[in-house]
Structure 1
Amino acid sequence: MSQYFYAGERMIWNSPGVLDGALFAAMAEVLSAQLKVPSGVSEMFNDECRIDGAVFETFVQALLERDCHDHSWFWRNLMPGYVLTAWILLERSGGTVQEPDYDHARHPESLRSWWAHWIERHDEAIENEWAYRPVE
């Protein structure tokens, strides 16, 4: 049974299984509390979830900022799939992600490679998974 995510009237994700969409929405609630930033993701109701694009854009940016500055093994291994899904849903809703703000002089190579790695993962996710999921 599918679950549908909407940004305004636009369906941006037809989640293929019961667990995927519900888990994404529940994680948004937990992460929102941890990051102290509203997620813009509504609770699941009748297999539908609404995303407030402007609020969600701030939330996704906060996820990437956290990843940029957090060196926790747990975070770095648990969160990539969630962050990529959020990033792609943000783009499908018309939003954009900015490269996180960090001190280029202090960490020039390590953070540039960190950002390049995220761009590579993002492009790979679109090519291998999301290109086949319609936006309506």
Structure 2
Amino acid sequence: MERLSCFFRIGDNDVWNPANFVAKVFHAEALALAQVFGVPSGLGPIVDDECHIDGQTFTRFVMTLLHEHRKTNHSALKYLIEGVIGVGLVFLERAGESDGEVPQDIGDFWEERRRSLSRRMTQG
């Protein structure tokens, strides 16, 4: 039986439970960005409406995107990667991965983006 939603999990933590279509869009965007920037995403395949994520690898992926976002002056590129960064920051916070590599001061823009998205992203 197909579920109407997909669980994204880091370790034992359900970090997001969007509709399947939304899950597929995020998953595809993240994998495409990982390929373009030449870094692993940490996202596993979506199998039986679940996607398991390696927290350490995903943290490095999100940090790479943040770095690329900071260094580019290309407005369209910034917009294209902002959605994956924002969702990624929510994942990391929910999984307790926000310590260590994630900068404590990610700036007001990213903190507000993370908070705003978090309120709207169901966990299950």
Same fold (TM over 0.5): yes
Aligned counterparts of 1:50 and 1:85: Cα–Cα separation in 2:
15
Structure 2 residue matching 1:66: 3-state secondary structure: helix
Q: Point out the structure with max Rg over C-alpha.
A: 1
Deviations 1:82-130 (A, max 9, x none): 2110110111122112169xxxxxxxxxxxxx9322222223333x424
What TM-score comes out, normalization by structure 1 length? 0.76
Task: Please tell me whether residue 56 in structure 1 is matched to residue 58 in structure 2.
Answer: yes
| Identity fraction in percent | 29
Q: Look up the match of 1:98.
A: 103
Query: What residue ranges of structure 1 are gaps of 5+ in the alignment?
Result: 101-113
Cα RMSD, aligned residues only: 2.0
| Equivalences, count | 118
Amino acid at match of 2:103: Q
Aligned counterparts of 1:23 and 1:14: Cα–Cα separation in 2:
13
What TM-score comes out, normalization by structure 2 length? 0.83
Task: Please tell me whether residue 129 in structure 1 is matched to residue 110 in structure 2.
Answer: no
The answer to whether the Cα contact below 8 Å between 1:53 and 1:94 also exists between their aligned partners in 2 is: no
Aligned counterparts of 1:4 and 1:41: Cα–Cα separation in 2:
12
Select the residue among 94, 107, 111 that pairs with 1:115: 107
Q: Which has the higher contact order (CA 8 A, sep 6+)?
A: 2
Aligned counterparts of 1:53 and 1:37: Cα–Cα separation in 2:
14
Query: What residue ranges of structure 2 are gaps of 5+ in the alignment?
Result: none
